[in-house]
Amino acid sequence: MESRDTFLLGGDFPVARIGFGAMQLPTAPTDARTTSVAVLRRAVALGVTLIDTAHLYGWGSNEELVAEALRPYPEDVLVATKVGVVRDPVSGDWGYDARPESLRSQVDEALRRLGTERLGLLQLHRLDPQTPLVDQVGTLGDLRREGKIARIGLSEVTADELDAARQVVEIASVQNRYNVFDRAYEPVLAACEGAGIAFLPWRPVAGAMADTPASAVVVEIATELGASPAQVALAWLLAHSPVIVPIPGTKQISHLEGNVRAGDLVLTNAHVSRLDALNDTRSPAPS
């Protein structure tokens, strides 16, 4: 059941409205890695049920970190990973590669690194401009029918690209850059609202502590509520749309705990209006 605190991702998996982005976590075998494992386990203990990782994050080392920390995965935890960006093993250069044969190989490698038989949510990190969209998402649809993927998502797409992908497969999530100061993807959010698709903003608290007039508004509201600017930025996202599931990331347990508490922060209508005015570009319909 959906509520202020949960979202039914893909129509069948309830996730807490604040997830966790693992990208920032150090993975080298040092004390920092031990802390990273502790952060991931603390996130789950606090009720976080959506963990976001990707092949690009450390070229697989981040996925392996998630597996080390959380396997065997709790039944109520959804691990989301991403494919479609690869690195040349010789030059070290990276690029997009979502050719069907490459996607199949990347998915198999993600399954191996995460130590699972099925990916709960597999997102295409970027559309490959050299491969027809129908081939890219069509391959993911085939892999879902084969049981290797449970749900399919996209990242950094336009509303038109989302619509085109939905003509081929069911899309469960979109992960685009978005926060109270940066709403360039408002039409995509509107499209997700209309279709009941989860919208996972990355960089959800970016700019909250910057030295700008707009950031000063966030700081003022945080002071009024006895909260942090990051908590206000997250609370605004939750209030802004029922399909938004922010995935803030951090290396520190204290910051993690603060981010999770943002789910309990209630903004007044006046607060929301002041925050809306920082970048009021909301469109009434998808474009």
Which residues are 50's β-sheet partners?
A: 78
Distance CA 247, CA 268 (A): 23
Measured at the CA of 261, the angle between CA 187 and CA 213, to 5 degrees, comes to 55
Among 67, 58, 68, 69, which residue's Cα sits nearest to residue 23? 58
Query: Beta strand pairing status for 78-83 and 85-87?
Result: unpaired
Query: Which residue, 15, 155, 140, 124, is CA-closest to 78?
Result: 15
Annotation says 57 is catalytic:
yes
- Do the strands 13-16 and 20-21 form a parallel or antiparallel pair, or are they unpaired? unpaired
Give the pLDDT of residue 273. Answer: 96
Burial grade of 261 (CB within 10 A; 0-12, 13-18, 19 or more): middle
What are the backbone dihedrals phi and psi of residue 270, each rounded to the nearest 5 degrees, phi first?
-65, -40
pLDDT below 70 — which residues of the chain? 1-4, 280-287
Q: Do residues 277 and 180 make contact, with C-beta atoms less than 8 angstroms apart? A: no
Strands 6-9 and 13-16: antiparallel
pLDDT at 287: 27
> What tokens appear for 96 in the block?
């997009």
Among 57, 96, 178, 185, the active-site one is: 57
**What counts of helices (H) and strands (E) characterise the chain?**
10, 11
Q: Which domains does the chain have, with CATH numbers?
A: 6-276 (3.20.20.100)
How high is the pLDDT of residue 90? 81
Those residues with Cβ within 8 angstroms of residue 78's Cβ, 6 or more apart along the chain or in another chain = 9, 13, 15, 49, 50, 51, 120, 121
